Structure 1
Amino acid sequence: MTPVRDGMAQEIRTFDAVLDPARGQGLLTALELMRTDAARGARLDFNLIQRWQQAVLATPGPPPLRSLPAFAKGGRERYGIAPDTRTRLDACLAQSTKDAPRPLPLTARAARAFLDVCFFHPFDDGNARSALLTLLFVLAREGVALDNVRLLRRVSFHADDPQDALILTRSIDLHLRETRRRTTHPTP
């Protein structure tokens, strides 16, 4: 499904690029990398996200998996680190495909991948942007794009709250239905 407008690119241009033009450019570059990877059916894992994150943060090399505990939401959330963090992250991300054992519906898989990146918090910086790119990758890999992502970026979700996972899944589903509606019945 090709929406009437590119919701993520629009969001980057009207939000990220306004905050910081370099941030906007890095995210647009990462968006193109993500879409290319989705089109070729790439396997979602830390290495793939790390490549996008290099563009997001405009770093000279791939940003490493963080090595210390991380904190978010003003210190209210703490993300530990263990020797098997990367292995566990990759195992979780592998469940984002429709051919995974016991696959979930597409919107639930996209929400799960988003929350996995949030929960593992793999990088020192830019994890929310990485999580959104991951969500969009899961959709794009199955030929789905959204014409609006604003609420997905403006609402905060807690990775360890089962209700938030349901709310995020419903939100993605709503965004998808609205994109389909506007694609099928565009307003003049």
Structure 2
Amino acid sequence: MKELSNRAFIYDIFSDIFYYKLDDDSYKEMLEKIKVAKEVFEPLSEVFELLNTKQKKDYLIEYTTLFLTGIGVKPLTPVESKRLYTLMGEKVALFKLNDIIKFYKAYKLRPKMGDFFQPEADHISSIMAFMSFLISKEDEGDQRAIMDERNFFISHVYGWIPDWANDVIVDDRSEIFKSVCKALNEWINVEKDRLGVSN
């Protein structure tokens, strides 16, 4: 795989991991993708080994406990506007959500309907999927995607996900997602340097 394809693939993997997997086939498909991805991005090896020793129900229980119940020392909802609403108030949360929607509309993207799990436009799964999409557009030669990729990364990845991931890592209920979030933070650091984003 070429570098752009590899990058799109890794973002796609993280999108998959944070997309609540209810059926067996999509869960098995995710495991197969991680098995391939760990050859491209070594920190995913620990994630693969851990998931390989667990059952799907362990993944679903931990996902629900951490991300869907809203209880714990800190709310860990993996949705940018909901996190920012708690930390900075409604005005900032709405601004960020509307900004994400503008990015999607610029590429004529709409939410996929019909699944049991419908992630919000600013759910981490949606954000990772959009980064994968932008890199794929860059790979096709879309020059607009290059600038949008960097701007979207700064505004909607680097701006909140590392802090949120650190909250997941230190949560006592986290085992699978502790490993996932460690790998995610490593990936974000690689991308930060690649995209020339300063601290």
Q: TM-score range by the shorter chain?
A: 0.3 to 0.5
TM-score (norm 1): 0.32
**Hey, which of these two has a bigger chunk of helix by percent?**
2
